[in-house]
């Protein structure tokens, strides 16, 4: 036996899960929502998912090459950004929207800030905000569920019907809670099926990749806020279940507000983050100019994360409690 051994400072063992295992697990957890989305909205949405993810991966490779860095597209983070962006797009929007969106997400929102771990804003959401400002027409026309192949058949989302005053509740829309739960409504590609999103969320909880702190505090706050202020008839008469099940709340709370890079590092910080996201979402939905506020509330809170991390810290051992002299 040769007498050559590897020498390094301890620890000498490491947990198996590295960044790429974490990222691909999240991608897997996202799969059910996408598959159901494609089933509901048809072939075009499959092409949109493919275009967005391919564009995201290619942009990441190109940018890392240009920045003379190691190309790390196999870690699954660029794929995830492309996937999340596609899930946030209307299923019938042109493919080039997905391609440009992914380019913006990776090149501007992620790599321009220094790449994975350095970005301030969730890349997919930053890109969605950009697309909404740049091509509002393409971003606000939603396909009708199960109207395969017919480009012209569109349907407003439940939240925009509510915002525009065209309906005051589920009954006016001809929908039930069950329709909202399984995804039988107009909306973004990956946000409609709450059941699939919850399955993915439970899987991530089981895998300990996310904890309940952010999603639960976010969703609960939206529920309480819309219950309190969501009705014109008076306080605490709002249809909170409708608000929880519609829009991008589930997708945002489970998969985007929990993004490691752009959320607080401590559990207490994550609860504050979730509650504030929920408040902002409720305010935008009820009093704001847009029908939906999940995207903007997460983006706004992303910018507050350094502040939260500065003030919400873990309790240090040996700093607070001191045994007094002479205590028996």
Partner 1 sequence: MVKLEEHKHLTENKPIEKAELPSKVFIPLLQHLGKPLDLIKVKAGDDVKRGTLLATSDKGLFAPVHASISGKVTTIADYPHPVSGFARAIAIEGDGKDEACPDMAPRSEEEAAALTADALKKIIFEAGIVGLGGATFPTHIKLSPSKPIEDFILNGAECEPYLTCDYRLMVERADEIIKGMKLVTNILKPRSCYIAIEDNKPEAIKLMQERARMFNWEVVVLATAYPQGGEKQVIKSCIGTEVPSGKLPFDIGVVVHNVATVYAIYEAVYLKKPLYERAVTVSGSCLANPKNLLARIGTPVKDLIGQCGPLVKEPKKIIMGGPMMGIAQYTMDGPVIKGTSGIILLDEIQEREQEETFCVRCGECVQNCPMGLNPGLIALAISKDKLELAEEYGIMDCIECGLCAYLCPSRRNIVQAIKAAKLRIRDAKK
* Three-state secondary structure call for residue 143: strand
Check: CB of residue 88 under 8 Å from CB of residue 124. Answer: yes
Which H helix or E strand runs over 310? Answer: helix 294-311
Residue 31: CB minimum distance to partner 1, A = 21
Per CB under 8 A, 68 contacts partner 1: no
In sequence order, the 6+-apart residues with CB closer than 8 A to the CB of 131 are 89, 97, 100, 101, 104, 138, 139
Q: Which stretch binds partner 1 (CB under 8 A): 35-43, 86-94, 214-222, 258-266?
A: 258-266
- Which lies closer to partner 1 via its Cβ, residue 88 or residue 258? 258
- Which lies closer to partner 1 via its Cβ, residue 194 or residue 305? 305
Per CB under 8 A, 21 contacts partner 1: yes
- Rounded Cα distance between 144 and 167, Å, is 17
* Three-state secondary structure call for residue 154: strand
Per CB under 8 A, 114 contacts partner 1: yes
- List binders of partner 1 among 44-63 (CB under 8 A): none
- Which lies closer to partner 1 via its Cβ, residue 287 or residue 317? 317
- Which lies closer to partner 1 via its Cβ, residue 17 or residue 164? 17
- Rounded Cα distance between 190 and 197, Å, is 8
In sequence order, the 6+-apart residues with CB closer than 8 A to the CB of 91 are 37, 40, 41, 42, 44, 45, 48, 142, 143, 188, 189
In sequence order, the 6+-apart residues with CB closer than 8 A to the CB of 73 are 57, 60, 61, 64, 79
Q: Which of 83, 116, 204, 275 binds partner 1 (CB under 8 A)?
A: 116
Q: Which of 235, 267, 303, 307 binds partner 1 (CB under 8 A)?
A: 267
- Rounded Cα distance between 154 and 47, Å, is 18
- Which lies closer to partner 1 via its Cβ, residue 16 or residue 232? 16
- Which lies closer to partner 1 via its Cβ, residue 171 or residue 319? 319
Helices (runs of H) and strands (runs of E) counted in the chain? 15, 0
Q: Which of 24, 61, 72, 140 binds partner 1 (CB under 8 A)?
A: 72
Per CB under 8 A, 206 contacts partner 1: no
Per CB under 8 A, 311 contacts partner 1: no
Per CB under 8 A, 115 contacts partner 1: yes
Q: Which of 17, 66, 136, 178 binds partner 1 (CB under 8 A)?
A: 17
Nearest to 146 by CA among 218, 71, 92, 200: 92
Number of residues that bind partner 1 (CB under 8 A): 45
Q: Which residues of the shown chain bind partner 1 in the complex (CB under 8 A)?
A: 1, 3, 5-19, 21-22, 70, 72, 75, 114-118, 260-261, 263, 265-267, 313-323, 328
């Amino acid at each position: 036996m040769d007498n050559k051994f590897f020498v390094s400072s301890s620890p000498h063992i490491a947990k198996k899960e590295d960044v790429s295992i974490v990222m691909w697990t999240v991608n897997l957890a996202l799969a059910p929502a996408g598959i159901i989305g494609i089933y509901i909205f048809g072939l075009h949405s499959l092409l949109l998912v493919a275009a967005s993810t391919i564009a995201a991966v290619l942009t990441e490779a190109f940018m890392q090459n240009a920045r003379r860095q190691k190309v790390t597209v196999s870690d699954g983070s660029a794929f995830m950004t492309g996937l999340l962006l596609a899930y946030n797009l209307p299923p019938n929007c042109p493919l080039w929207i997905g391609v440009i969106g992914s380019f913006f997400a990776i090149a501007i929102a992620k790599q321009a800030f220094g790449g994975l771990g350095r970005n301030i804003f969730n890349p997919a959401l930053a890109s969605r905000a950009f697309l909404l400002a740049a091509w509002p027409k393409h971003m606000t026309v939603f396909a009708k569920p199960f109207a395969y192949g017919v480009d012209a058949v569109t349907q407003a989302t439940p939240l925009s019907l509510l915002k525009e005053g065209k309906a005051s509740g589920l009954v006016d829309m001809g929908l039930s809670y069950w329709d909202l739960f399984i995804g039988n409504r107009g909306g973004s590609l990956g946000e409609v099926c709450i059941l699939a999103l919850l399955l993915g969320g439970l899987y991530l909880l089981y895998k300990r990749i996310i904890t309940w702190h952010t999603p639960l505090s976010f969703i609960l706050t939206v529920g309480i806020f819309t219950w309190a202020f969501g009705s014109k008839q008076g306080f605490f008469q709002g249809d909170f279940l409708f608000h929880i099940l519609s829009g991008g709340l589930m997708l945002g709370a489970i998969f985007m507000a929990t993004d490691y890079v752009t959320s607080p590092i401590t559990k207490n910080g994550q609860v504050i983050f979730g509650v504030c996201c929920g408040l902002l979402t409720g305010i935008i939905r009820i009093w704001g100019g847009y029908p939906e506020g999940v995207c903007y509330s997460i983006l706004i809170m992303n910018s507050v994360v350094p502040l939260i991390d500065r003030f919400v810290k873990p309790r240090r051992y040996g700093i607070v409690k001191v045994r007094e002299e002479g205590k028996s």
